Amino acid sequence: MGARNTTGSAKTGSPDEQVEQLLYARQEKIYPREVHGLFARLRVLGVFGLLGIYYLVPWLVWDGRQAVLLDLPARKFHIFFVTFWPQDFIYLAALLITAGLMLFFVTALVGRIWCGYACPQTVWTEAFLWIERKVEGNRMHQQKLDAMPMNARKLRIKATKHFLWLAFAAWTGFTFVGYFTPIVDLGQRLLAFELGPWETFWVIFYGFATYGNAGWMREQVCKYMCPYARFQGAMFDRDTLIISYLPERGEPRGSRKRSADPAELGLGDCIDCTLCVQVCPTGIDIRNGLQYECIACSACIDACDDVMEKMGYRKGLIKYTTENAMEGKQTHMIRARVVIYAIIMLAIISALAYSVVTRTPLGLDVIRDRNQLYRETVEGLIENVYILKILNMDNREHTYRLGVQGMPGVELHMDIKTIRVPAGEVMEFPVRLRVDESDLEARSSTVIFTLEATDASALQVQQEGRFLGPG
Amino acid sequence: MADKRIPGIQKCIAVLWPSFLTAVVASGLFFSAFDPDDLVAFGADLEISRLGIYTIGFLLFWLVAAVSGFGTLYFAITNCLRNTPDYPES
């Protein structure tokens, strides 16, 4: 695939061309070395917490049904005690905007914390790396194994790893579909080999995406595919938390005996052990400064702190810091950018919370009978026919009182006595309005239907309709 | 595609990935507004489950976006790079 070299300019390339070559060269596989320490523990906590949430949530039960079920086949989203309908799309939009703003806010404040600890790509990659380590051994064993020619042992180890990866990915795909169709039922049908073709497609699709992204692509997703990685730099300023190597303290780097005095040798604190490079999941050298590939996972901090401790030096040669702090200036946590993001975010969250709490779980659509504009009854009244679509978005059954306003002398006729709609159902009711021709002022008048639950007066809506007459 | 210097797989990912994201957003918006059960295609009622229509809709959006992306890639590369001195002729 390294077709770039065919032009023969590889040796004499300008810096731009070198970068291009780097981008288009065949990827070298990265073998991140296992790391222990404070931040590694935090990340493991993140992995367990987030994957735990992902795999367990579909199994929670609330009020006799799946607690979180984005029921696409039924077009209803159940999230604990609330049920959202396609009409509530605006809430989803607001939620996504809030999530976006929150990412801006967090990025401005603490940098790429998201990437290092919470991003699904990181979290699943960690899980896949863990499986790989259990099967193939540590970094050195993995490199040796990959370098050796194929033999029975290598085949067995590789096959075991891919089997475990695929099993884990399949479970992930199954869980994903379980968010959209009831998971208990889905599981039973899976065991009986009765999954529908579309469900099968999505289990395989999502499972395969997990296997590919977390098993094969890994850091390349962050480097080449992630949109956030491209624009996160725009939220950075001199007060944003970054991971940095302190060159003034570390340079000039060089190996030395543990007993040696670095000042005598004219060396800085960096012993050039390259552990920070070996543990890096994106394969960069943090000592070259802040780089776009850095996902702020802090593996290099853990690795370096460990070395510093062994050498008897102060920890923190690589550490969380800010550009201002590195230059010996004051770091300002609270600054215009952060305050503005926070204000917009809080405003949207409050508006969202307010409208969800005060939302009326009742919908009314008025559809005019299209076959006839109007008709005259035997009594000489003008009659219009409507279909009322009543949507009970509440979680219990209600009966409703229907009224009509806005037209003097109008009579409301229905074939049934009570309007009763079960929980979460849409029902249609034919309604006739009759009025004396002398009460009509124009060919078309506005009429307002009002609907109110008999057992809860807060549940009321109104909807306009048109009444047509001979005029 | 035209430029031999970029591996084919990378071009494919560069088109398929953004079009995938676009298709996710587009099908989300489209199916919030339209219920598959109310859709009539070419005068015939679709006798496919909702989940099936969602899937087909998503794949169609993906296809359309990908076609557009491959078009952009093809035209951009052939026009911009053909005149560069080290452009490899096939």
CATH label of the domain that carries residue A434: 2.60.40.10
Three-state secondary structure of A396-421: CCEEEEEEEECCCCCEEECCCCCEEE
Which of A337, A359, A381 corresponds to the end of one domain? A359
**Domain boundaries, position A393:** 362-468
Q: What is the pLDDT of residue A3?
A: 38
- Tell which of A23, A72, A189 to mutate to test the B interface (max B CBs under 10 Å): A72
pLDDT by residue for chain A (471 residues), tens digit each? 333 333 333 334 455 655 555 555 566 788 999 999 999 999 999 999 999 999 999 999 998 889 999 998 888 899 888 888 887 888 888 888 999 999 999 999 999 999 999 999 999 999 999 999 999 999 999 999 999 999 999 999 999 999 999 999 999 999 999 999 999 999 999 999 999 999 999 999 999 999 999 999 898 889 888 889 988 888 888 999 999 999 999 989 999 988 888 888 999 999 999 999 999 999 999 999 989 899 999 999 999 999 999 999 999 999 999 999 999 999 888 899 899 999 999 999 999 999 888 888 898 999 988 888 888 888 889 999 999 999 988 878 899 999 999 888 889 999 888 899 998 888 999 999 999 988 888 888 899 999 999 988 888 999 999 998 886
**Other C-beta atoms within 10 Å of A298: how many?**
25
- Tell which of A16, A20, A75 to mutate to test the B interface (max B CBs under 10 Å): A75
pLDDT tens digits, one per residue of A401-425: 999 998 888 899 998 888 999 988 8
Nearest-Cα residue of chain A relative to residue B29: A89
Same domain, A425 and A334: no
**Other C-beta atoms within 10 Å of A467: how many?**
23
Residue B82 confidence (pLDDT) above 70:
no
Same domain, A397 and A328: no
Separation of alpha carbons A84 and B53, rounded Å: 21
Same domain, A316 and A388: no
Q: Which residues of A make CB contacts under 8 Å with B?
A: 1, 3-4, 6-7, 9, 20, 24, 26, 72-73, 75, 86, 89, 92, 180-181, 196-199, 201-202, 224-225, 227
Domain-located, residue A2: no
Same domain, A332 and A401: no
Same domain, A115 and A157: yes
Retrieve residue A186's tokens.
């889905």
Q: List, in sequence order, the alpha helices (H) in A232-327.
A: 247-250, 262-265, 275-278, 299-311, 323-326
Retrieve residue A199's tokens.
């469900």
Domain-located, residue A81: yes
Same domain, A350 and A387: no
Retrieve residue A65's tokens.
């049904």
Same domain, A438 and A302: no
B6 min Cα distance to partner chain A (Å): 6
CB A373 within 8 A of CB A471: no
Same domain, A279 and A415: no
List A376's β-bridge partners, or say none: A382
Domain-located, residue A37: yes
pLDDT tens digits, one per residue of B24-54: 999 999 998 888 887 776 666 667 888 899 9
Same domain, A299 and A190: yes
Separation of alpha carbons A364 and A390, rounded Å: 5
Domain-located, residue A252: yes
Same domain, A339 and A286: yes
**Contact yes or no for B4 and A73 at CB 8 A:** no
Domain-located, residue A20: no
CB A125 within 8 A of CB A43: no
Which of A333, A359, A385 corresponds to the end of one domain? A359
Domain-located, residue A24: no
Number of compact structural domains in chain A = 2
**Contact yes or no for A24 and B35 at CB 8 A:** no
Domain-located, residue A372: yes
**Other C-beta atoms within 10 Å of A126: how many?**
21
Q: Chain A residues with CB inside 8 Å of B13's CB? A: 224-225
Which of A359, A387, A421 corresponds to the end of one domain? A359
pLDDT tens digits, one per residue of A193-208: 999 999 999 999 999 9
**Contact yes or no for A24 and B7 at CB 8 A:** yes
Number of H helices, E strands in chain A: 17, 16
Separation of alpha carbons B83 and B80, rounded Å: 7
Q: What is the pLDDT of residue B42?
A: 66
Q: What is the pLDDT of residue A8?
A: 36
CB B32 within 8 A of CB A90: no
Mean pLDDT of chain A: 89
pLDDT tens digits, one per residue of A53-66: 999 999 999 988 89
Retrieve residue A5's tokens.
């070299």
Residue corresponding to tokens 């053909």:
B82
Separation of alpha carbons A36 and A13, rounded Å: 40
Q: Chain B residues with CB inside 8 Å of A224's CB? A: 10, 13
**Contact yes or no for B7 and A1 at CB 8 A:** yes
Same domain, A379 and A320: no
**Contact yes or no for B86 and A72 at CB 8 A:** no
Same domain, A391 and A438: yes
Domain-located, residue A35: yes
